[in-house]
Amino acid sequence: MANRTVYVKDIDAFIEMIVKAGYSYRQLAKKAKTNPTTITLITKGERNPSPKVAINICRALGCQFDDIFFIQFIDKSQ
């Protein structure tokens, strides 16, 4: 079975998008229906977002999933 993990393509570009949208991490978290700590950890590269959180972040920032994130497939069957 393949495991799928969502990753941020470019953390600096992601932070820039947040700033350009005029959000603080707390404001983005509220719009994305998540915890401010989650946003902080994602921007530090210490946590990967769940697919649901990633989609909510994209909606809050008004962008497409592929603008910020990518999915890596890992086959753990071997």
CA angle, 22 then 26 then 30, to 5°: 95
pLDDT tens digits, 28-77: 999 999 999 999 999 999 999 999 999 999 999 999 999 999 999 877 66
Mutual angle of helices 11-20 and 36-44, in 10-degree steps: 140
pLDDT tens digits, 10-28: 999 999 999 999 999 999 9
Q: What is the pLDDT of residue 4?
A: 85
Q: What pTM does this model have?
A: 0.90
Rounded Cα distance, 78 and 69, in Å: 27
**Per the structure, how many domains does the chain have?**
1
Q: What is the pLDDT of residue 46?
A: 97
Q: What is the pLDDT of residue 78?
A: 58
Rounded Cα distance, 5 and 69, in Å: 10
| Residue range of the domain that includes 21 | 2-70
Q: What is the pLDDT of residue 77?
A: 66
Task: Characterise 54 by phi-psi region: left (phi > 0), alpha (psi -120 to 50), beta (else).
Answer: alpha
pLDDT at 6 over 60: yes
Q: Is residue 61 part of a domain?
A: yes
Rounded Cα distance, 52 and 46, in Å: 18
Which CATH number covers residue 65?
A: 1.10.260.40
